[in-house]
Amino acid sequence: MSTYVYGITAASHPSLPENMGGVGEPARPVRVLRAGDLAAVVSDAPDDLRPKRRELLAHQNVLAEAGAGGCVLPMRFGSVAPDDEAVTGVLVERADHYAERLRALDGRVEYNVKAHHVEEAVLHHVMAGNPEIRALAEANRLSGGGSYEQKIQLGEMVAAAVKDKEAEDAQVLERTLEPAADAVSVGPESTGWLANVSYLVERARAEEFLAAVERARTDMPHLELRVNGPLPPYSFVEPGPAQPAGTAAGGADAGAE
Amino acid sequence: MTVVPAQQTGGGGGSSGLYDVLELVLDRGLVIDAFVRVSLVGIEILKIDVRVVVASVDTYLRFAEACNRLDLEAGPRKSPGLPDVVGQVTESGARGKSKGVLAGAAESVSDAFRSVREGGSDSEEESRPRARKSTSARRKEEQE
């Protein structure tokens, strides 16, 4: 029977959600595996586990419940160990590392902020601030929309201007929110949003952070901001790239000396 | 692609929260080499699609049209960021029009999420070629 792993925490964590429903259908009950000073929040792994909505929710809910009572290092969705012994083995093997991460993240939660432009508003900005674009749009309109090439030309200019505005607004947003956070993790770029940034925030300072979000909303009404949190610190479980990850093996040191 | 996400409102917990958090649950968090991971093939393919679809001629044409429409509705010298115009258009429920290009990408993402919700790997496979076809078909139309 393989073992599904939700997260790693301290063995002294006061309120782990034992017997809560986890992944699978029927939901597999949550168990706790302890080894030394650490504990893993696990359940049996269903054989046919797939990344369905209910499974993702179950993963997130177990972590939210566990995280409410103390710091938990969340696993990425879908982590399955061969058996319970493999889990406790990892806890023993990397005990120092996990203990350090738990200390570093203690009392802190993640807030994820995604922003995108309200299109009408940003197009107004772009048109108002750029006479060339305005003139071209006007010319196209007078000629019944313009030729294919003219449309492409206009669209290209607008797209470039919108992109510049996105970059500018992303910076302003980050400057507004960063002071209220301990750490920042920039998510993967995508054209779906102009900013996708996670902030590590002390629980005690959560209100301060949310106030900064409100300030950003007021200052930049042409942005749509979506804030999710408090979340388990998904984006902060691994230390920054500067930290050596284990020194023994040097397999991929291309170009080092 | 005319698929509209089941829900779009931000904030709060529940499913709309999951929509935004999904990427964190799937892409971040602790990874341990000794453990295997459930296959997420369908989802990863759709994510890449988001980038491909947007940086295209199609985008430029839609922007050009949006600008023309904007002129007609608001006049070329109207000052930027007028919330009344934005609010009105958004509320009218013409989501596809009012959000246009920018939301287009978000919709592709939510397609991915939708197929996650519905769970079938079949629906994941399906929505990809459909998205492609509609994009290139539209482009062809424009060229004729």
| A-chain residues near B1 (CB < 8 A) | none
Chain A interface mutation, best of B67, B72, B135, B141, highest count of A Cβ atoms under 10 Å: B67
| Domain parsing of chain B, residue ranges | 40-143
Q: Is the per-residue pLDDT at B88 higher than 50? A: no
Q: How far is CA B53 from the centre of its chain?
A: 10
Whether the CB of B45 is below 8 Å from some CB of chain A: the reply is no
pLDDT of residue B71: 56
* Beta bridge partner(s), residue A70: none
Q: Which of B30, B77, B106 sits opposite A73 (nearest CB)?
A: B30
Whether the CB of B138 is below 8 Å from some CB of chain A: the reply is no
pLDDT of residue A26: 94
In angstroms, the separation between the Cα of residue A222 and the nearest Cα of chain B is 6
Q: Is the per-residue pLDDT at B111 higher than 60? A: no
pLDDT of residue B135: 40
Percent of chain B with pLDDT over 90: 3
Closest residue of chain A to B113, computed from CA coordinates: A53
Q: Is the per-residue pLDDT at B40 higher than 90? A: no
**What's the rounded mean pLDDT across residues B5-34?**
64
Cis omega (within 30 of 0) on the bond before A26?
Answer: yes
Whether B63 and A148 lie within 8 Å, measured CB to CB: no
Q: How far apart are CA A148 and CA B143, in angstroms?
A: 7
Residue A69 in tokens: 């009572």
pLDDT of residue A118: 87
Q: How far apart are CA B14 and CA A27, in angstroms?
A: 18
| B-chain residues near A198 (CB < 8 A) | 24, 28
Per-residue confidence at B55, pLDDT binned at 50, 70, 90? low
Chain B interface mutation, best of A110, A148, A191, A196, highest count of B Cβ atoms under 10 Å: A191
Higher-scoring residue by pLDDT: B84, A13: A13
What b-and-e string marks burial along A228-247, b requiring 16 or more CB atoms within 10 Å of the CB?
bbbbbbbbbbbeeeeeeeee
Residue with token string 């950003």: A216
Higher-scoring residue by pLDDT: B131, A83: A83
Higher-scoring residue by pLDDT: B37, B2: B37
pLDDT of residue B59: 80
In angstroms, the separation between the Cα of residue B26 and the nearest Cα of chain A is 5
* Beta bridge partner(s), residue B36: A80
Count residue pairs from A and B with Cβ separation < 8 A. Answer: 237
Write the pLDDT tens digit of every residue in A42-89. Answer: 999 998 888 888 898 899 999 999 999 899 999 999 999 999 999 999
> Own/partner pairs for A89-95, CB < 8 Å, 24+ apart?
A89/B34, A90/B32, A90/B34, A90/B35, A91/A8, A91/A33, A91/A35, A91/A36, A91/A38, A91/A39, A91/A40, A92/A35, A92/A36, A95/A35, A95/A36, A95/A37, A95/A38
Closest residue of chain A to B141, computed from CA coordinates: A148
- Please tell me what DSSP assigns to residue B56: S
pLDDT of residue B41: 60
> What Å distances lie between residue A43 and A46, A58, A79, A150, CA to CA?
9, 11, 11, 60
pLDDT of residue A77: 92
Q: Which of A102, A126, A95 lies closest to A236, judged by CA? A: A102
Q: Which helix (H) or strand (E) holds A154?
A: helix A148-177
Q: Which residues in chain A land under pLDDT 50?
A: 241-257
pLDDT of residue A240: 54
φ, ψ for residue A217 (rounded to 5)? Answer: -60, -40
Kindly report the CA angle at A115 between A135 and B39, in degrees rounded to 5? 120
Higher-scoring residue by pLDDT: B117, A132: A132
